[in-house]
Structures are given as C-alpha cells and as structure tokens.
Amino acid sequence: MKELQFNKNLEELKKHLKVIKKQTTFLSNFYGYPLNEENISDIVEFEVEKLDSLAYRFLKLQDTFGKTLKLFFSLKEENIDNLTMLDILNLAEKVGFSINVKKWRELREMRNILSHEYEDNYEKIANSVNYIIDNFEFLEKIIKEIEAKK
C-alpha cells in the first residue's frame, strides 16, 4: 500500500513539475527573463491565471515532496514517526539527497510569497518566479534522486 502511494506521489510530483515548467517557460519567453516589477504588473493584469497556476503547482509540489520523502523513509523501514520535517530533511541529506534544510526553507519562502503576495509586492513576486526558474533543474534533480533510490 505504501509503495503504491509512493509511486502515485512520484507521478504527481512529475505532473506538478511539468506544469511549473510550462508556466515559467511561457512567462520568461513572453515577458523576458529575469522578470521584474513591470513584467509582473503586466502579468497580473493580463495573465494572472499563469501566476495562479504556477503558485498552486509549486505549493503542491512542495507538499507532495514532503509526503513522498516521508513515504520513502517509511518504505526503507526508518522510524520517522516522531521526526519533524527538518529532521527528515537532515536524514535525506545524510543518505545522499541534494535537498537540505537551507534549500527547503528557501523553497518554502518562495512558495509563501507566491501564495500570499500577489496584490502587494511585485518585486517579491518577480524574485520568487525568477528563483523557481533558476532552481527548476534542482527541483527536477531531487525528484529523480528519490525515484532512483526507491
């Protein structure tokens, strides 16, 4: 049962990553890269659904990644019942995953900015979208790492 859920989560991660790639590619190709306050102003006015989709998929990617990591260790018969997410991330780093607490916090911060800053701070939104674009290969890499180590 856990293995089935683990595999389902991997497919979900790939789906979220695919949509993130589609949205960031569109935004950077159409509005230029790096994005700035002016670009974001135009995007909010004319393409807000692109930002909505990106924010939702990035949020879901990170949530699903956390669940998948927990399932990974559970399948490896690691006792993670009383571990915090930060403890699990430290464990993941110890077994050779590229993710670590610092990177997780950065990703979390970008997720929160995209989820909560839409109307307020276009500079922060631009920086967050640029961060996602800059770190797309890293996101892809950690998903491949999990899949390879299963």
17 contacts 138 by C-beta, under 8 angstroms = no
pLDDT digits (tens, 9 = 90+) for 41-95: 999 999 999 999 999 999 999 999 999 999 999 999 999 999 999 999 999 999 9
Largest CA distance in the chain: 50
Contacts of 8 (CB under 8 A, 6+ apart): none
The 10 Å CB-count burial string (b at 16+, else e) for 106-127 is: ebeebbebbeeebeeebebbbb
Half-sphere exposure of 2 (CA within 13 A, CB side): 12
Residue at token pair 């989820």: 115
pLDDT digits (tens, 9 = 90+) for 81-137: 999 999 999 999 999 999 999 999 999 999 888 887 556 789 999 999 999 999 999
pLDDT for 46 equals: 94
Contacts of 42 (CB under 8 A, 6+ apart): 31
pLDDT for 11 equals: 98
Q: Based on DSSP, count helices (H) and strands (E) in the chain, helices before strands.
A: 7, 0
User: What global pTM score does this model have?
Assistant: 0.91
69 contacts 10 by C-beta, under 8 angstroms = no
Q: Which secondary-structure segment (H or E) carries 92?
A: helix 85-94
